[in-house]
Structure 1
Amino acid sequence: MNNAEINLEYNLESLLPAVSLEDIHQFEIKTSNYFEQKIKLPDELIQQFLHYHGGIPGKQCFQSLDGKIRMICRFCNIFKPLGDERLPQPPIPSWRPGGASDVRLDYTIGFLLARFDYSDRLYESGGLLVPIAVIDTAGHNAREMSEMNLLCLDYRKPGEPSVVTWSFEMSWHDPEEIVKVADSFGEFLTRLFKHPDDFPITNECEHF
């Protein structure tokens, strides 16, 4: 089994409507235009989008280089941030201040890149950071928080993007503080594991 086929044991009820390869290609074009640099998503992430779009993985934990366990709360999606006809109706109102028209769009990559309190500081953190998941925030489930920490692909260097964590709170004080967790998304997938029984964060909200 290659890294693109790794089973992360997603909660199937958490998945958003499927997208196609053409949808992903159009997303890459729009994101490349946004950054004024070619953005090519890793093949392993493309496979996750095709089969488990925007879902919550069962293998959701990873270990940072300092040994701390972190948790993916939900992968981002590539829907249109201002509204997408593929979302089942009726809309689910966002409870976040400044949130999207539908809470499911709060996790859209395009929405995070356009929302000023994220986009400005992502840019100040060196630019070329593409959010791909929301992660735990100060010991809390990010899907219960107004402000979310992010897992990002880092395109600042040539070649395959590395995977880094970005802190919403710390970016106020130290924009350049991002933490590398893997050299590639494929490598990152191999490091994911189910959270230990004594892990304090649960993941039982917003299954849409």
Structure 2
Amino acid sequence: MKEHDILKIEQENIKIEDKKSALYTKWLSVNPKATWRDVIDALTTIRENRLAQDIKDHILPTLSQGNPKDILRTYSVKLTDAITTNLYRVTDALYAEGLIPLDTKENIQTVTGISDYRKSSQLVSVIQRHLESSLTTKQYLIDICHVLIKQQHRTLADIATSLLHQLGQSIPDNVSSHTVLPSPVDDISNTPVTNIRVMT
């Protein structure tokens, strides 16, 4: 898109909403496969750093809401670390709620020669596979979060409340304080721009 395109849009539209909408429409007609990373890169190139940062801070986090598979993937390392210190209790609780199969529970409890971190990693992988095959991915991840919160382990509760926040869910009343972990921009920056709502 060229500067004369922008000037033309500014001249033809009086209201700011109309200008934004026209600019958005024109930009997508020129770049139909544009992503938010493209927008951020373009803004950075023309030294519109403040606007680029606003997009990173305000638009990108909202795009991740409702995408349980990506959200869980983003938190998988932290979740694996946190489960390691509470592995057997978490495994039992997940099984009791019907969120993992019996063979997973048995493998974690009986296999020897594998570190608890490795077992935790395998457990998170099982959760990810079940999430991917679930017909109700969001509800499955919400159920996982509630089990993690019930463990009364600070780090697990922090991760679970962050996951719930990313899913757009309210935090249970029994969680008095939590740390909301940031969602990395790079993980959702390739979301197509077509998911935008023009805001004033």
Question: What TM-score, normalized to structure 1?
Answer: 0.22
**Structure possessing the higher relative contact order (Cα contacts under 8 Å, 6 or more residues apart):** 2
- Normalising by structure 2, we get a TM-score of 0.23
Task: Name the structure with the higher strand share.
Answer: 1
Instruction: Considering fraction of residues, name the structure with more helix.
Output: 2
